[in-house]
C-alpha cells in the first residue's frame, strides 16, 4: 500500500500531455494502479488520473457510487464499478451539454460549475489489455470527461464558462439555497 501525494494546481506536471501505455501491461502498471487506488481511497474521491501523482501516463481510474448518479425516468440506477481506463478516447454522442458541480483533488477546497457533454462513448484499454467501449450519461459521463482532461493537462476551471461559479466548498450550499429562494417567487406565479 502506497499513498502518494496528489499534485496541486500550479504544479507543471499537471500541464503535461500524458504518454500512451503499450500493452501487455506489466508490474509497473499494476503497481501504479494500486498506488492510485490507495491514494484515492485515502482522500475519498471518485476519480484520479496518473498525472495527478506525477506519472505522465495515459491512465485514469474512477468509481461512481449509485447514489451519485442522477435518476432518469425508466433507467435502472446502478453504480459504476471501479474502472481502470488506459489510453482513453472520448466521443460525444450528442451535442447536448449540461452544467454540474465539480471538484478536483488537485484543486482542493473549491467547486465549480462546469459544462460537459451529457452523453458520450469512452473507449480505451483495461488493465488486462483488452478493449473497453462504454456508453455513459450524466454524472458518469462527467467523471470520465473530467479525468481524461487531466491526460491533456487540463483542469476543470479551464472548462468553466462563468468564473462567478468558482467558489469554496463551504459556500456552495448557501449559494444554491439562495438561488432556490430567489427563483421560488417566479415558480409561484405560474
Residue numbering of the annotated binding site for Fe cation: 104, 146, 150
What are the residues whose beta carbons fall under 8 Å from the beta carbon of 114, sequence distance 6 or more?
99, 100, 101, 102, 142, 146, 156, 159, 160
Edge-to-edge strand order for the sheet containing 119-125?
A: 47-49, 59-64, 80-92, 119-125, 131-137
Question: Can residue 53 be called a binding residue for Ni ion (CB under 5 A)?
Answer: no
CB of 107 to Ni ion, least distance (A): 7
d(CA 3, CA 5): 7
Is the preceding peptide bond at 24 cis, omega within 30 degrees of 0?
A: yes
CB closer to Ni ion, 112 vs 124 = 112
d(CA 93, CA 11): 33
Question: Can residue 64 be called a binding residue for Ni ion (CB under 5 A)?
Answer: no
Q: Which stretch binds Ni ion (CB under 5 A): 12-20, 69-77, 99-107, 127-135?
A: 99-107
Question: Can residue 104 be called a binding residue for Ni ion (CB under 5 A)?
Answer: yes
Question: Can residue 144 be called a binding residue for Ni ion (CB under 5 A)?
Answer: no
Q: Site for Ni ion (CB under 5 A): how many residues?
A: 1
CB of 155 to Ni ion, least distance (A): 7
CB closer to Ni ion, 40 vs 125 = 40
Collapsed DSSP state (helix, strand, coil) of residue 133: strand
Out of 147, 158, 177, 184, pick the active-site residue.
147
Catalytic site includes residue 72: no
Question: Can residue 151 be called a binding residue for Ni ion (CB under 5 A)?
Answer: no
d(CA 64, CA 15): 25
Catalytic machinery residues: 147
Which residues are near Ni ion by CB under 5 A?
A: 104
Amino acid at each position: 500500500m502506497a499513498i502518494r501525494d496528489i499534485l496541486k494546481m500550479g504544479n507543471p506536471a499537471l500541464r503535461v500531455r500524458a504518454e500512451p501505455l503499450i500493452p501487455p501491461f506489466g508490474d509497473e502498471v499494476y503497481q501504479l494502479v494500486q498506488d492510485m487506488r490507495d491514494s484515492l481511497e485515502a482522500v475519498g474521491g471518485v476519480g484520479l488520473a496518473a498525472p495527478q501523482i506525477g506519472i505522465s501516463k495515459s491512465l485514469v481510474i474512477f468509481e461512481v457510487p449509485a447514489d451519485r448518479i442522477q435518476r432518469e425516468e425508466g433507467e435502472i440506477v446502478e453504480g459504476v464499478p471501479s474502472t481502470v481506463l488506459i489510453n482513453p478516447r472520448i466521443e460525444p454522442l450528442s451535442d447536448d451539454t449540461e452544467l454540474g458541480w465539480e471538484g478536483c483533488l488537485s484543486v482542493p477546497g473549491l467547486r465549480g460549475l462546469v459544462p460537459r457533454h451529457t452523453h458520450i462513448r469512452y473507449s480505451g484499454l483495461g488493465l488486462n489489455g483488452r478493449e473497453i467501449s462504454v456508453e455513459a450519461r450524466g454524472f458518469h459521463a462527467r467523471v470520465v470527461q473530467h479525468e481524461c482532461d487531466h491526460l491533456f493537462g487540463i483542469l476543470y476551471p479551464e472548462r468553466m464558462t462563468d468564473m462567478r461559479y468558482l467558489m469554496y466548498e463551504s459556500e456552495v450550499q448557501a449559494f444554491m439555497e439562495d438561488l432556490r429562494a430567489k427563483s421560488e417567487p417566479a415558480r409561484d406565479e405560474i
